[in-house]
Structure 1
């Protein structure tokens, strides 16, 4: 199995996945953006989601494998 950065690349993939979920969840307030900016963000998120799927498949990871465990605080994102 390829190793992009670090031991298995899971940390980097988890970070990107977390950012993708936060942005897709509405962290950006659309009223502050032009229509063109909203379209660019939407396209970027779709491309990011596609790339995340490719990376998960490449490294044999499931989406739930990327939910960072914050110890006593629990998982970073709600479990699906």
Structure 2
């Protein structure tokens, strides 16, 4: 039985799981599910840091040099996230997990 409480047919075990916005926790896919969860948390933190950085820039509390360093750091982090998503065969949709009645995370 899958996470949506629907029985699986034997033929569905050989196929890739459909993109449902839910983390796959089956024993064979545990590694992929863990990677999805970790990258989701990292992406959430990245977005929070980015929003805080924008607030600091808009608030005028940073020098031009600090703004430049912050921009470069955020771009490097974005590139690294893209690399990790490619390594684990994930896309942005996969990181936006479904929290049930709360809606999607990202």
Q: Does TM, scored on the shorter chain, surpass 0.5?
A: yes
Q: How does 1:12-31 map to 2 (within 5 A)?
A: 12-24=38-50, 26-28=51-53, 29=55, 30=57, 31=60
Report which stretch shifted further, 65-74 or 40-49.
65-74
Q: Give the length in aligned residue pairs.
A: 71
CA-to-aligned-CA distance 1:2-45 (integer Å, 9 cap, x gap) = xxxx7331111111222223344x33311222222211111111
Residue ranges of structure 2 left out of the alignment (5+ in a row): 1-29
Partner SS for 1:75: coil
**TM-score, normalised with respect to structure 1:** 0.71
Q: Which is greater in Rg? A: 2
RMSD: 1.9
- Structure 1 runs (4+) deviating above 6 angstroms are none
**TM-score, normalised with respect to structure 2:** 0.56
